[in-house]
């Protein structure tokens, strides 16, 4: 019986601009073998040249078994993963890739869909739209909201004859007063008709959709976050972590995660997504107060646990059960 490999070494067949600040990567097996199957909404984890693992949504047709296609936004004020990938990976390179996972899957019982994408949040929606077009039995409406045409990936394809009848593209030009009005789409709950909402994009967009779908059944509204609060805050300060088992203390500078600070010192902590979404790096917190920035911990866990991939400290020192 064959098994799906946990990590694969794939070749970058294409690395090219998809829009301003966005790079498109096409990954294939070096020997031309089939890749593990995926479903619309799935993501893969990629090891960047800097050593960090980052997850990116697959945007190509799930029926394809010869390639994975992702689009990566170059985040200048992020934690360096996207910079490392966009600036450091060219066509022909080999990258370590995890098998596809899906936490944002289309509901099999849904009869129609409203897909709402903001910015780079279009990536999983492209796979969904391709799948639904090929399926041909369930209706969908895709709203793609961006700042301007130059920063919009997949724009030419979405304006083509296959997608155009299903797609609305809106550019706000950076003016909040020019935001697209989603209320007419969401005013009437579509649950009785089997309609589901899927939203992926920046936090303000997802918060707005949450507010406008408060009268929808929770089971009919789905969100895909880019991860926890991974960007540095203006008031971030360096702090220390002390490892209970060894007694050693390490400094965590501004802009560096606890996980990366420990990794640089040769201390291994299990990790996977490195974006505060998977729970792999959950660590017992013995002393100190954490500044939680993940999407995993329950309220009752926050006093004595921390996700070391994204969270920081509110006190000068955290003591970890490591």
Question: What is the per-residue pLDDT across 165-192, written as a single tens digit (0 to 9) for each?
Answer: 999 999 999 888 899 999 999 999 876 6
Domain count within the chain = 3
Please state the rounded mean pLDDT for residues 271-298.
86
Q: Tell whether 26 is covered by a domain.
A: yes
Question: What is the per-residue pLDDT across 201-243, written as a single tens digit (0 to 9) for each?
Answer: 888 898 899 999 999 998 999 988 655 666 778 889 999 999 9
User: Domain span at residue 34?
Assistant: 7-98
The pLDDT value recorded for residue 225 is: 65
- Which one of 72, 98, 124 terminates a domain? 98
Q: Tell whether 40 is covered by a domain.
A: yes
Q: Which residues lie below 8 Å from residue 33, measured CB to CB, with a gap of 6+?
A: none
Overall pTM surpassing 0.85 (yes/no):
no
The pLDDT value recorded for residue 2 is: 40
3-state secondary structure of 79: coil
Q: Tell whether 126 is covered by a domain.
A: yes
Q: Tell whether 233 is covered by a domain.
A: no
Rounded to whole angstroms, the Cα distance separating 271 from 251 reads 20
Rounded to whole angstroms, the Cα distance separating 322 from 183 reads 49
Q: Tell whether 229 is covered by a domain.
A: no
**Percentages of the chain per state (helix, strand, coil), in multiples of 5:** 20, 30, 50
DSSP-derived letter for residue 101 is B
The pLDDT value recorded for residue 36 is: 96
The pLDDT value recorded for residue 202 is: 86
Residues 63 and 141 grouped into a single domain: no
Residues 16 and 85 grouped into a single domain: yes
> Residue 79 — very low, low, confident or very high, per pLDDT cuts 50/70/90?
low
- Which one of 98, 132, 153 terminates a domain? 98
Residues 182 and 282 grouped into a single domain: no
- Which one of 65, 98, 131 terminates a domain? 98
């Amino acid at each position: 019986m064959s098994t799906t490999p946990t990590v694969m070494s794939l070749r970058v067949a294409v690395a090219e601009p998809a829009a301003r600040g966005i790079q498109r990567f096409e990954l294939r097996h070096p020997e031309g073998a089939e890749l593990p199957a995926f479903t619309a909404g799935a993501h893969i984890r990629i090891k960047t040249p800097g050593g960090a693992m980052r997850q990116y949504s697959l945007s190509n047709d799930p029926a394809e078994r010869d390639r994975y296609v992702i689009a990566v936004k170059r985040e200048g004020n992020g934690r360096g993963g996207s910079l490392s990938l966009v600036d450091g990976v060219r066509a022909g390179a080999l990258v370590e890739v995890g098998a596809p996972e899906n936490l944002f899957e289309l509901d099999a019982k849904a009869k129609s869909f409203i897909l709402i994408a903001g910015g780079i949040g279009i990536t999983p929606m492209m796979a969904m739209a391709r799948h639904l077009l090929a399926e041909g039995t369930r209706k969908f409406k895709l709203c793609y909201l961006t700042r301007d045409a130059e920063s919009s990936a997949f724009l030419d394809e979405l304006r083509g004859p296959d997608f155009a009848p299903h797609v609305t593209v809106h550019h706000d030009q950076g003016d909040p007063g020019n935001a697209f009005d989603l209320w007419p789409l969401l005013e009437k709950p579509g649950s009785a008709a089997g309609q589901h909402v899927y939203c992926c994009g920046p936090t303000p967009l997802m918060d707005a959709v949450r507010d406008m779908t408060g009268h929808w059944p929770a089971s009919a509204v789905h969100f895909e976050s880019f991860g926890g609060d991974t960007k540095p805050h203006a008031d971030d300060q360096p702090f220390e972590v002390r490892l209970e088992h060894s007694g050693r203390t390490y400094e965590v500078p501004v802009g560096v995660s606890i996980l990366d600070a420990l990794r640089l010192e040769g201390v291994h902590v299990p990790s996977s997504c490195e974006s505060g979404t998977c729970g792999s790096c959950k660590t017992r917190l013995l002393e100190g107060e954490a500044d939680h920035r993940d999407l995993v911990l329950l309220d009752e866990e926050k006093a004595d646990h921390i996700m070391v991939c994204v969270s920081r400290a509110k006190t000068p020192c955290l003591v970890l059960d490591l």
